[in-house]
């Protein structure tokens, strides 16, 4: 059974940093492309980052709104993917989901339960 478990969320002040962790099991993590998707309080979904596998040099992509502030990374030995979030803004307030990439394209075939991040002073 595929499992994705996100941790590390919480309340943080604007300008501060937070690191999310997604621990996975039940599939071959080392060859999987992984994503982070967030859902704002008004329920809108936004893809924010992707990391490819070792054979693709762990290439990363980001949505424009988080470029230069967020960093996606992975540790294949721990079957985990991370999201380092710096210079947080109030508009980053959302539930953050870790997802796997589909076999036929960048859709999201398995999702974690999500972790809440609130950016507020």
Partner 1 sequence: DIQMTQSPASLSASLGETVTIECRASEDIYNGLAWYQQKPGKSPQLLIYNANSLHTGVPSRFSGSGSGTQYSLKINSLQSEDVASYFCQQYYDYPWTFGGGTKLELK
Task: Report the nearest approach of partner 1 to the CB of residue 13 (Å).
Answer: 27
Cβ pair 84, 70 in contact under 8 A: yes
Q: Which of 48, 29, 38 is nearest to 100 (CA)?
A: 29
- Strand locations in the chain (E): 3-7, 10-12, 18-25, 34-39, 45-51, 60-62, 70-75, 80-85, 94-101, 108-111, 115-119
Q: How far apart are CA 88 and CA 108, in angstroms?
A: 25
Work out which of 46, 75, 90, 91 binds partner 1, going by CB under 8 A. 46
Q: Does 90 bind partner 1 (CB under 8 A)?
A: no
Q: Min. distance of Cβ 113 from partner 1 in angstroms?
A: 6
Contact between 45 and partner 1 (CB under 8 A)?
Answer: yes
Q: Which is nearer to partner 1, 84 or 114 (CB)?
A: 114
Does 58 interact with partner 1 (rule: CB under 8 A)?
no
Binding stretches for partner 1 (CB under 8 A): 43-47, 61, 63-64, 97, 102, 104-114
């Amino acid at each position: 059974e595929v499992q994705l478990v996100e941790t590390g969320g919480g309340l943080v002040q604007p300008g501060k940093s937070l690191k999310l962790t997604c621990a996975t099991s039940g599939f071959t993590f080392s060859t999987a492309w992984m994503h982070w998707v967030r859902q704002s309080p008004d329920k809108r979904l936004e893809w924010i980052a992707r990391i490819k596998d070792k054979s693709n040099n762990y290439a990363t992509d980001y949505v424009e709104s988080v470029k230069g502030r967020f960093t996606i990374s992975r540790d294949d030995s721990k079957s985990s993917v991370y999201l380092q979030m710096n210079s947080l803004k109030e508009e980053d307030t959302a539930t953050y989901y870790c997802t796997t990439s589909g076999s036929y394209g960048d859709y999201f075939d398995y999702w974690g339960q999500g972790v809440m991040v609130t950016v507020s002073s």
